[in-house]
């Protein structure tokens, strides 16, 4: 467990460094295409550093805002608060901020940059459809993500996916209105092949960036779900609780309406994978989560 936590911290640093490098490269290509000159390099560096800083400090706020999560009142949601407090005492964790998402679909996620600055959000559907031991299993799963330091990498991925989507939109609009030459006429393009090469490179980069971000989402979340499941059972010492909760999640076809591609990997069950019915046999290859049947099988062997 401690080795996994250390590995998660190292991955977090590597992902942040990679995010800065990719952001700098994209920003630099944009400044070259817009003829910013030498100032463009400084702009790209500042933009990349600012994006990394924002990702580290504010990604959790972005994730909560995108999910339309609201603080959970301690009196109205007393059971929710009591279960989290008990699990935090058992796991030696500080109590995270608790949120509610008004949605009939049962689901939950954790976010934040470390255990001292973490948050857990659950849908109203989860509170309504799970009994006490099942809800405890789900909450233990989310607290395990916090304890294992999964949340930093998973939360930064939210900003990464959102950023690549914005950049892709920018280049799509730029290509549509200006063409590969950035708005110059054909004679200028022939005299400046570097500009055309940079334009093509920029478009290719933007096409590949969302794919890379999606693959990173999958790598981040799929393996960690198994570890969080095992850690949750270790915390509650009652495997049937989480197993029954996963069975209910599998049987429920309600879709989380506030979900998006950027936050899909955060939830205990990928909400986008529920759209248009249950997944087909090959869909798990592109899923941010391992199949629930596999997770249940792994827990049943504990």
The DSSP-derived string for 98-165 is EEEE--SS--EEEEEEETTEEEEEEEHHHHHH--HHHHHHHHHHHHHHHHTTHHHHHHHHHHHHHHHH
Output the pLDDT for position 117: 93
Q: Which two tokens stand for residue 86?
A: 């008990």
Mean pLDDT across 60-86: 94
What percentage of residues in the chain have a pLDDT greater than 90? Answer: 36
Q: Is 170 exposed, middle or buried (0-12, 13-18, 19+ CB in 10 A)?
A: middle
Strands 69-71 and 97-101: antiparallel
Residue 281 has pLDDT above 70, yes or no: no
* Torsion, CA 111, CA 113, CA 115, CA 119, rounded to 10: -30
CA 300 to chain centre: 27
d(CA 268, CA 280): 19
Output the pLDDT for position 193: 58
Of 156, 164, 158, 146, nearest in space to 56 by CA? 156
pTM beyond 0.85 = no
8 A C-beta contact, residue 102 and residue 134:
no
d(CA 179, CA 157): 31
Computed over every residue of the chain, the mean pLDDT equals 79
d(CA 97, CA 235): 19
Output the pLDDT for position 276: 43
Of 82, 26, 20, nearest in space to 50 by CA? 20
HSE, side-chain direction, 13 A CA sphere, residue 72 = 23
d(CA 106, CA 268): 10
Name the residues annotated as catalytic.
142
Q: Which two tokens stand for residue 25?
A: 């490269």
d(CA 211, CA 148): 26
Percent helix, strand and coil across the chain, each rounded to 5? 70, 10, 25
Of 59, 96, 110, 68, nearest in space to 266 by CA? 110
Output the pLDDT for position 42: 81
Q: At what angle do helices 78-91 and 132-147 cross, to 10 degrees?
A: 50
pLDDT digits (tens, 9 = 90+) for 152-175: 777 777 776 667 666 666 666 665
Mean pLDDT across 181-209: 57
Q: Is 97 helix (H, G, I), strand (E, B) or coil?
A: strand
pLDDT class of 13 with cuts at 50, 70, 90: confident
d(CA 85, CA 140): 11
Output the pLDDT for position 21: 81
* Spans of all domains in the chain: 1-302
């Amino acid at each position: 467990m401690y080795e996994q936590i250390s590995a998660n911290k190292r991955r977090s640093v590597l992902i942040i460094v990679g995010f800065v490098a990719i952001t700098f490269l994209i920003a630099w290509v944009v400044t070259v295409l817009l003829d910013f000159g030498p100032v463009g390099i400084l702009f790209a560096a500042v933009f990349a550093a600012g994006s990394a800083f924002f990702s580290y400090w504010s990604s959790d706020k972005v994730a909560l805002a995108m999910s339309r999560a609201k603080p959970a009142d301690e009196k109205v949601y007393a059971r929710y608060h009591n279960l989290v407090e008990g699990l935090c005492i058992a796991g030696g964790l500080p109590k995270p901020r608790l949120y509610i998402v008004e949605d009939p679909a049962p689901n939950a996620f954790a976010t934040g940059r470390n255990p001292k600055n973490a948050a857990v959000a659950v849908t109203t559907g989860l509170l309504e459809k799970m009994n006490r031991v099942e809800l405890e299993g789900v909450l233990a799963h989310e607290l395990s993500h916090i304890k294992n330091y999964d949340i930093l990498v998973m939360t930064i991925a939210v900003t990464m996916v959102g950023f690549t989507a914005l950049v892709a939109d920018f280049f799509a609009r730029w290509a549509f209105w200006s063409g590969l030459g950035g708005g110059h006429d054909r004679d200028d393009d022939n005299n400046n092949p570097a500009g055309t090469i940079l334009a093509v490179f920029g478009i290719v980069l933007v096409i590949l960036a969302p794919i890379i971000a999606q693959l990173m989402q999958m790598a981040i979340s799929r393996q960690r779900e198994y570890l969080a499941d095992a850690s949750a059972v270790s915390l509650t010492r009652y495997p049937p609780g989480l197993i029954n909760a996963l069975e209910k999640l599998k049987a429920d076809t309600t879709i989380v309406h506030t979900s998006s591609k950027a936050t899909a990997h955060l939830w205990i069950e990928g909400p986008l994978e529920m759209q248009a019915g249950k997944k087909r046999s090959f869909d798990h290859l592109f899923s941010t989560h391992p199949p629930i049947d596999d997770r249940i099988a792994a827990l049943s062997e504990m």
